[in-house]
């Protein structure tokens, strides 16, 4: 009998092995490549290939991936019809959860061999981005746009959502966030997808579980929650006043802290530098004063550091994206990490089933219903 250990929230528990990413205090790497190196020298399509196939693509492999993405990108009309029927006040993460599940009935990939699963993952990359873009067009009473040939995945997503080709800065920054969000070993949503894989269920079910898990503000939903927090302030002074009250009331500040990183999130450092440049370029440095008015006391007094969601929310905001799109963009990226973990679990599986510690009533006898009070 294996020795049972109890750790609330599985904190500090190694629940499995992975070759996909290493999340350490000193570094984050995807399949041995440091995140700073990837951020500087690759695109999201290259990172997707790295996660799904185990290595960065050659030029030929990259164009094959891009060709496959282009082939599967157009949404089935049935999916667009469903998007039209979902009430306009439904949050985008709920739209994604139900629409990806529905889109699974039109999955163009047959089979469940590893290469079939990789092709299904590429299809899920395309359909998640397509659903987000189409929904935001419909919310503006515009018709969904057909894909425009020749655009990168990031540029295509923005083009189909906004209706015009994005500028180089917006494309590069969205692509950077997709790289940073793509994978993070056994985070809650990825672990959820691995649990689904461990029962030998299907990849679409696993991704729907991932979407539902990521939505929570303690996880991926933090990028929207952090921006909604910042958006309430019209000055750094207002933000300073608010953070004091938050300390007094012991409120959780969204976009800060991390279950693993205790000295800062490597991704936040990378993105924050880009965010400061973007704010300068757009003459929006007031936002950085507000941003720092929350960050500085959290870091200097509480030693609680920004995670990736804190700079990401404001980055998307300065790019003019609607706040309800932020966590869905996280999905459009993390779907690659989720699928890579689904495949890894499926290829070397053991059912994931932890124990629990019972703290309920002691054993007791059933009384006839007439005697129950
Ligand atoms: C993501 O796991 C991943 O890898 C996730 C992710 C990924 O890429 O998949 O990195 C993405 O989910 C990032 C996290 C986004 N979530 C948020 O920003 C929500 C706010 N953060 C907190 O809720 C919290 O930091 C968690 C949930 C992220 C981590 O919480 P833990 O590990 O359970 O830590 P804890 O709640 O036990 O906190 C330890 C102490 C507590 O103080 P005490 O009760 O001991 O006095 O630190 C405090 C907490 O109150 N604390 C915070 C805080 N985070 C921790 N206090 C105020 N604000 C915060 N954000």
CATH number (domain holding residue 111): 1.10.580.10
CB 161 within 8 A of CB 132: yes
353 in a structural domain: no
Q: Same domain, yes or no, for 209 and 307? A: no
Question: Quick check: is 184 catalytic?
Answer: no
CB 260 within 8 A of CB 28: no
Question: Quick check: is 324 catalytic?
Answer: no
**Quick one: tokens of 104?**
């699974």
Q: Same domain, yes or no, for 208 and 227? A: no
CB 349 within 8 A of CB 197: yes
For residue 229 and ligand 1, the question of a CB distance below 6 A is answered with no
8 in a structural domain: no
Residue written as token pair 């679990």 = 345
In Å, how far are 2, 226, 275, 358 from 233, measured between CA atoms? 53, 12, 18, 46
> What average pLDDT does this structure show over 275-281?
97
> What average pLDDT does this structure show over 116-132?
98
For residue 309 and ligand 1, the question of a CB distance below 6 A is answered with yes
68 in a structural domain: yes
pLDDT in tens, 328-363: 999 999 999 999 999 999 999 999 999 999 999 999
What was the pLDDT predicted at 320?
A: 95
For residue 304 and ligand 1, the question of a CB distance below 6 A is answered with yes
Q: Same domain, yes or no, for 79 and 175? A: yes
Q: Same domain, yes or no, for 205 and 336? A: yes
> What average pLDDT does this structure show over 107-122?
97
d(CA 324, CA 48): 24
How would you class 310 by CB atoms within 10 Å of its CB: exposed for 0-12, middle for 13-18, buried for 19 or more?
buried
pLDDT in tens, 89-104: 999 999 999 999 999 9
For residue 303 and ligand 1, the question of a CB distance below 6 A is answered with no
258 in a structural domain: yes
145 in a structural domain: yes
Ligand 1 center from residue 217 Cα (angstroms)? 10
Question: Quick check: is 309 catalytic?
Answer: yes
Q: Same domain, yes or no, for 95 and 232? A: no
Ligand 1 center from residue 302 Cα (angstroms)? 12
Question: How far is C-alpha 208 from the geometric centre of its chain's CA atoms?
Answer: 12
Does the pLDDT at position 241 exceed 80?
yes
What was the pLDDT predicted at 124?
A: 98
Long-range contacts of 217-222 (CB under 8 A, 24+ apart): 217/254, 218/188, 218/252, 219/187, 219/188, 219/189, 220/189, 220/309, 220/327, 220/330, 220/331, 220/334, 221/93, 221/327, 222/254, 222/255, 222/307, 222/309, 222/310, 222/313
Atom of ligand 1 nearest to the CA of 226: 18
Q: How many domains does the chain have?
A: 2
Q: Same domain, yes or no, for 138 and 275? A: no
Domain holding 227: CATH number? 1.10.230.10
> What average pLDDT does this structure show over 38-44?
98
Reported pTM: 0.97
* Count of helices and strands (H, E) across the chain: 16, 3
> What average pLDDT does this structure show over 286-311?
98
> What average pLDDT does this structure show over 242-264?
97
Range of the domain at 262: 222-318
Does the pLDDT at position 105 exceed 80?
yes
For residue 345 and ligand 1, the question of a CB distance below 6 A is answered with no
Q: Same domain, yes or no, for 331 and 310? A: no
**Quick one: tokens of 320?**
């003019």
Query: For a substitution probing ligand 1, which of 254, 258, 270 has the most ligand atoms within 8 Å of its CB?
Result: 258
pLDDT in tens, 155-214: 999 999 999 999 999 999 999 999 999 999 999 999 999 999 999 999 999 999 999 999
355 in a structural domain: no
What was the pLDDT predicted at 336?
A: 98
Q: Same domain, yes or no, for 213 and 227? A: no
Q: Same domain, yes or no, for 161 and 211? A: yes
Residue written as token pair 């092709």 = 119
For residue 198 and ligand 1, the question of a CB distance below 6 A is answered with no
Q: Same domain, yes or no, for 195 and 233? A: no
What was the pLDDT predicted at 2?
A: 77
Atom of ligand 1 nearest to the CA of 310: 18
Ligand 1 center from residue 19 Cα (angstroms)? 25
Q: Same domain, yes or no, for 158 and 287? A: no
> What average pLDDT does this structure show over 233-262?
98
What was the pLDDT predicted at 1?
A: 75
CB 56 within 8 A of CB 49: yes
CB 202 within 8 A of CB 342: no
29 in a structural domain: yes
Does the pLDDT at position 45 exceed 90?
yes
11 in a structural domain: no
Q: Same domain, yes or no, for 115 and 185? A: yes
Query: Which residue, among 307, 300, 108, has the nearest Cα to 204 in the 3D structure?
Result: 108
What was the pLDDT predicted at 330?
A: 98
d(CA 160, CA 144): 7
What was the pLDDT predicted at 167?
A: 95
């Amino acid at each position: 009998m294996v020795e049972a250990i109890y750790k609330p929230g599985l904190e500090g528990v190694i629940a499995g092995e992975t070759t996909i990413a290493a999340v350490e205090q000193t570094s984050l790497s995807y399949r041995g490549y440091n995140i700073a190196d990837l951020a500087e020298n690759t695109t999201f399509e290259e990172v997707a290939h790295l996660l799904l196939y185990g290595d960065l693509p050659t030029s030929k492999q990259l164009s094959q991936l891009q060709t496959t993405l282009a082939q599967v990108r157009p949404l089935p009309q049935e999916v667009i019809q469903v998007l039209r029927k979902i009430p306009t006040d439904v949050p985008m993460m709920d739209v994604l959860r139900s629409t990806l599940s529905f889109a699974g009935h039109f999955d163009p990939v047959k089979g469940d061999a590893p290469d079939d699963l990789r092709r299904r993952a590429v299809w899920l990359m395309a359909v998640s981005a397509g659903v987000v873009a189409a929904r935001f067009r419909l919310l503006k009473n515009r018709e969904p746009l057909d894909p425009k040939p020749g655009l990168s995945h990031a540029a295509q997503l923005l083009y189909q959502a906004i209706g015009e080709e994005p500028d180089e800065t917006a494309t590069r920054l969205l692509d950077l966030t997709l790289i940073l969000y793509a994978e993070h070993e056994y985070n809650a949503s990825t672990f959820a997808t691995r649990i689904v894989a461990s029962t030998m269920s299907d990849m679409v079910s696993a991704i729907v579980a991932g979407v539902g898990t990521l939505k929570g503000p303690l996880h991926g939903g933090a990028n929207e929650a952090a921006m909604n927090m910042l958006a309430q302030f019209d000055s750094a002074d207002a933000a300073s006043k608010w953070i004091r009250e938050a300390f007094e009331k012991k409120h959780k500040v969204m976009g800060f802290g991390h279950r693993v990183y205790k000295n800062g999130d490597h991704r936040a450092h990378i993105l924050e530098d880009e965010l400061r440049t973007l704010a300068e370029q757009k003459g929006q440095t007031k936002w950085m004063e507000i941003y720092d008015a929350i960050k500085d006391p959290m870091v200097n007094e509480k030693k609680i550091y920004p995670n990736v969601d804190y700079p990401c929310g404001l980055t998307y905001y300065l790019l003019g994206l609607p706040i309800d799109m932020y966590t869905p963009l996280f999905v459009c990226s993390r779907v690659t990490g989720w699928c890579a973990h689904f495949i890894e679990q499926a290829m070397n599986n053991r059912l994931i089933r932890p124990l629990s510690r019972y703290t309920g009533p002691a054993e007791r006898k059933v009384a006839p219903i007439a005697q129950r009070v």
